Structure formats: C-alpha cells, structure tokens
Amino acid sequence: MNTPSDATTPRPSKGAVNILMVDDQPAKLLSYEAILRDLNENLIKVSSGREALDQLLKNDIALVLLDVSMPDIDGFELANLIRQHPRYQSTAIIFISGVHLTDLDRIRGYQRGAVDYISVPVVPELLRAKVSVFAELYRKTRELEDVNNELRLTEERLRHLTGRLMQIQDSERRRVARDVHDGLGQYLVGVKMGIDQFARRLANDPEGRETMTEISRLLNQAITETRTISHLLHPPLLDEIGLESALSVYTDGFAKRSGISITLDVSSNLGRLDSDIETALFRVVQECLLNVHRHSNSATARVSLRRENEGVTLKVRDDGIGMSHAQEPDGTGLGVGLLGIRERLRQLDGSLQIVSGSGKGTAVIASIPARPKKDAIVSRPVGVDTSALI
C-alpha cells in the first residue's frame, strides 16, 4: 500500500487533492495510477475496504474510485460506511465495475452515494476527465469554505471590536457626564452664588441690580442645561437605583421638553439587571423617543418594559406616520441610530424588531435574555426631582 507522499510520479503539485483508489487487484490500481498521474493529484492506492476506511480516517479525501466487487467489504457496503462519517457525507464516489450492472445495481449504488459509474475496460480519457472534474469541484468547494470561514472570523472580529468600542463609549459618557456635573456644573453654581450676592449689594442701583438679576437668570438656565447634558450622557440613577428609575426620570423630562405625551409601563417583577443590559435598554428608549420627536409627527408615545420567559422585552410605540422600510430584513434604509441599537443588542444576544406601516405608527421591539444583577436591591423612584431634565 502506498502512502499519500509516495503514491504518484511525478510529485503532486501544490494544492493537489487526495484521490483514494480502492481495488483488490494490484494491476488495476497500477493502471488507474498510470492514467491519472498527469493530473498531478495525490493518488492513494489501497486493496481492501478496511485499508480504505483507515485512509479516510487519516486524510481528507476529495474523490473515491471504488471497485464494486471486493472479498471482505464490497463497494456498496464500503460506500454506505463512508457516508456514515460526517466528514464524507458529500464526498464524490465513482464505482468501477468489471461485470455488467443491472439498473437495480445502479440504483443501489446511487442510494449509497455514488455520483457516477465506469465500466471495465476503462477508457483512459473518460476516467481522466471525470476525475479531473470532481477534483476541481472539490478544490473550488474547499476554497469557498475557506473564504466563508475567513468572512465568519472577520465578522466575529468586527463584532468584538464593535462591542469593545461601545464599552469604551459608555465608559467615556460616564466620565464626561461626571466631569460636566461635578466640574462645570459646580463652577456655574459658584458663579451664580457670587452674582446673587453682588446683586444684593446694588440696592441703590436699580439698573445694575436688574442686569445682575438677568445674568443670574441666564446662569440658572446654564446650570439646568448642564445638568440635562450630564443626565443625557449617562443618568446617575441608572447606576445608583436602576433602569426603571432612570427611565421614569428621563421620560418625564423628555415629555416636558418635547410636548409629547409619554406613558411608561414597567412590570413589577423587573428587578435589577446587568449594567450592560440596563444601559442598552436605556439607549434604545433614548433613540426611539428622539425618532418619535423628529420624524413621526406623533403626539403620543408608549414605553413598556416586561420581564418574561427568562428575558426582557422593551416596546416603544407611537401613532405617527410610520416607516415604509421598517420591515426590510437587512435593515436597509434604517438610520445610523437604529442600526447602532441593533448592533448593541446583538452584543447581548438580543434582537431588534421594527413593525410599521404608512400612517399606522411604529413599534420598536427590543428583546434581550435577562441576567439578574447579583445582590441587587429593587428600588422605585420616590419623589425624584426631574427639574434637571426639563
């Protein structure tokens, strides 16, 4: 029995595929080798079914030339055994028979995975042509599989990179929000206190006092805007108390700023979730309500959050003009914000569904498998001041 390395002369070319030739007559194997050597493929000769199975376990085989009549395991039985191996369920098998085969024999062979038959005496040109076609088909299939595998790896790397960028973005938002609130906000409060104190000293200067009062009013507005920016970047309630409280404050403030009537409905069993899940769901609400305000022409919006079947489902609905492209499976036509939300949810094994029709409003549905936050205390907002979000 020859091994893959010494089975042919000349030496197989780079990229050659393995062709397994199975026949109990050495003379036939030598003749097949002589016919096929010019193809420069890797020819493996074995004289029994057991040796063939051994080679199949050791090598990737592109094509099997299989004698029908062999003493230990005949060709039909061997083909059946080959097909039982997951790696060889689609491997091409060509039966070679020195006896006349009936139609029933051919059907039996095809049922066991044969792709073709060749009768003895073998016509060299015919054998060479058929082997060449199946070898090239195998080669192209492997090349396509390699490309697909590389594409999958690239997609996985991109998803990992996207997830990392989102984590960095959320972390940066937290930092900027804290700096704006604790830094710029405190400076503005200090300036306002000084202006108010200075204004009280201008009792005998009505014009100067009026100017200081106007400056104080503008500073008060700047402080409010600073707090709003800080909370929109990353609401502190999201970390300190949880998603329900953060959404309650945010929707109240958004309703006052936009004039849209917003209803928030949160199930009583929500509890605390992992911080990445709470952040993702909060960003979904932010993006959806901004889209309602900018594009829907709807006077109302409804936000519902439910925990059920080991998962969390968030729905944001409006009664606006709808989105004609919302149900396209590839998301073609969706804005950057919604595509970003879809990718953020994918990072958490979640999904985004958009149901809409012209003039029938839009429903954005986000679903994420729930992972409870460890040692979390469920808290509800009590008398939370929403003035910073107005």
Residue position matching structure tokens 């937290």:
174
Q: Which one-letter DSSP state was computed for residue 293?
A: I
Contact 119, 99 (CB under 8 A): no
Q: What is the pLDDT of residues 19-74, one digit of tens each?
A: 999 888 889 899 999 999 989 999 999 988 888 888 888 888 888 888 877 777 77
Q: Report the alpha-carbon distance of residue 42 to residue 348 in Å, rounded.
A: 47
Contact 65, 59 (CB under 8 A): no
- Please state the φ and ψ torsions of residue 324, each to the nearest 5 degrees: -65, -25
Question: What does the pLDDT read at residue 327?
Answer: 46
Q: Which amino acid is at 362?
A: T
Which pLDDT tens digits describe the chain residue by residue (390 residues)? 444 434 433 445 567 899 999 888 889 899 999 999 989 999 999 988 888 888 888 888 888 888 877 777 777 778 878 877 777 777 888 888 755 555 666 666 666 555 677 777 888 898 899 888 888 888 888 888 888 888 888 877 877 777 677 777 777 777 777 777 677 777 788 888 888 888 787 777 888 878 888 888 888 888 877 777 777 677 777 777 788 888 998 899 889 888 999 999 998 888 888 888 888 898 899 889 988 988 888 899 999 999 887 889 999 999 888 876 544 444 445 667 788 888 888 888 899 888 887 667 899 999 998 765 554 444 444 344 443 433
Contact 237, 246 (CB under 8 A): yes
Give the domains, in start order, of the chain with CATH numbers: 18-122 (3.40.50.2300), 236-390 (3.30.565.10)
Nearest to 109 by CA among 148, 64, 61: 64
- Looking at the chain, which runs of residues are DSSP E strands? 18-22, 42-46, 61-67, 92-97, 114-119, 261-266, 300-308, 311-318, 351-356, 362-369
Contact 7, 19 (CB under 8 A): no
Contact 239, 233 (CB under 8 A): no
**Angle separating helix axes 206-233 and 243-258, nearest 10 degrees:** 130
Q: Which one-letter DSSP state was computed for residue 274?
A: -
Q: Report the alpha-carbon distance of residue 142 to residue 125 in Å, rounded.
A: 26
Question: What does the pLDDT read at residue 192?
Answer: 80
Contact 344, 283 (CB under 8 A): yes
Q: Report the alpha-carbon distance of residue 105 to residue 110 in Å, rounded.
A: 9
Q: What is the dihedral of CA 245, 250, 252, 256, to 10 degrees?
A: 170
CB count in 10 Å sphere of residue 76: 19
